[in-house]
Amino acid sequence: MIQLRGVEIAGTGHYLPEKILTNEYFEKIVDTTDEWITSRTGMKKRHVVVEGENNSDIAVKAAQNALDMAGLKAQDIDMILFATVTPDMVFPATACLVQNKLGCRTIPALDFEVACSGFVYGLSMGYNFIASGAYNTILVIGSEVLTRITDYTDRNTCVLFGDGAGAVILRPSEKNKILGYHLGSDGGEAKILYQPAGGSAMLASHETVDRHDHSIRMAGQEVFRIAVNRMIEGLDTACKNAGLTPSDLDFIIPHQANTRIMQAVRKFAKLNPEQLIVTIEEHANTSSSTIPIALDMSVRSGKIKRGNLIGITAFGGGLTWGGAVFEF
């Protein structure tokens, strides 16, 4: 039997583009108000890449911040796992572009596409690669430029999305600190949250552009209902797999999509309001990167400290969902 090694998060990092769109901007272009957006989502602003700034660029900045915290160099990385639904191009993988821009060795680097659940999936995969002894140092990135697939004529979705990148460095540890995880999917509900065009099933044309088929489509009420249940499932099952209950956690970091969803998860976990990490007002929904962004913000502010037990949970297009528990 293979003896599994311990794994820990050695460093965290994030990056948000400098350009900002506030709620007041959306008051000018669609029928909405700051009060409506804030009360229903918790969002105040979202960061936006500018022309010439791509997903790989912001991912590299988040990765470098994580490397610096871990006291490592790009040459120390053995593998890159990159979660995104907004790659620089269909191929090559954006992870390969990051490998080159960071100055890594010729290591394995791959993209995977599970939308907002991406970081939970990436953490789980990275854990297994290191625990099995296959690799020693893995860079896990969640990075998105969702504003480039947002329809700014759709008042129901255009206020929700922003751009940003988050990253962690995983390393072997004498004590295992990645304690449990749970992953799931349901392709039968794919079309309540998806991007119709851009893949091989619907190629780009004048018609697809005119119909905004290259933008995010979302059935908001259905997504809200399923997200609450699946994010609770992800957290609860991950805790059970770790031999814990949600009330054992010091903090939870849900995917930052909506404050009402996050509060529902907190109440299920029977945690105090201050144990819920909420950063959504700073960056809105950045899909796969919200959890690592929120984690890094909380670590650098001193709220999350070494030894804290953290639960994360997410839900996204696919449908996909997942949860994980770790000691920071």
Each residue's pLDDT tens digit, 221-247: 999 999 999 999 999 999 999 999 999
With 80 as the cut, is the pLDDT of residue 2 above it?
A: no
Q: Report the percent of the chain where pLDDT is more than 90.
A: 98
Q: State mean pLDDT over 5-12.
A: 98
Can 182 be counted among the known catalytic residues? Answer: no
Query: Who contacts 277 (Cβ-Cβ below 8 Å, separation ≥6)?
Result: 251, 252, 253, 254, 294, 295, 298, 303, 304
Residue 158 structure tokens: 């255009």
Band of residue 220 on the pLDDT scale cut at 50, 70, 90: confident
CA 238, CA 246: separation in Å to the nearest integer? 9
Which pLDDT score is estimated for 321? 98
Average pLDDT in the chain:
97
Query: Would residue 76 be called left, alpha or beta, if left means φ above 0 and alpha means ψ between -120 and 50 degrees?
Result: alpha
Instruction: Write down the catalytic residue from 14, 47, 255, 283.
Output: 255
Of the residues 54, 55, 258, 285, only one is catalytic, namely 285
Q: How many other CB atoms are there within 10 angstroms of residue 87's CB atom?
A: 21
Known catalytic residue: 116? yes
Mean pLDDT over 150-169 rounds to: 96
Residue 1 has pLDDT above 60, yes or no: no
Nearest to 248, CA basis, from 257, 239, 256? 239
Assess whether 212 carries a catalytic annotation: no
Angstrom distance (rounded) from CA 179 to CA 324: 8
- Kind and range of the H or E element at 226? helix 220-241
180 has pLDDT over 90: yes
**For residue 157, pLDDT beyond 60:** yes
Domains and CATH numbers, the chain: 6-175 (3.40.47.10), 179-327 (3.40.47.10)
Per residue in 22-40, pLDDT (tens digit) is: 999 999 999 999 999 999 9
Residue 3 has pLDDT above 90, yes or no: no
Phi, psi of 170 (to 5 degrees): -100, 135
Catalytic residue among 104, 116, 158, 239: 116
| pLDDT, tens digit (0-9, with 9 covering 90-100), for 71-121 | 999 999 999 999 999 999 999 999 999 999 999 999 999 999 999 999 999
Give the CB-side neighbour count of residue 259, counting CA atoms within 13 A. 16
> Please, which pLDDT band fits residue 256 given cuts at 50, 70 and 90?
very high
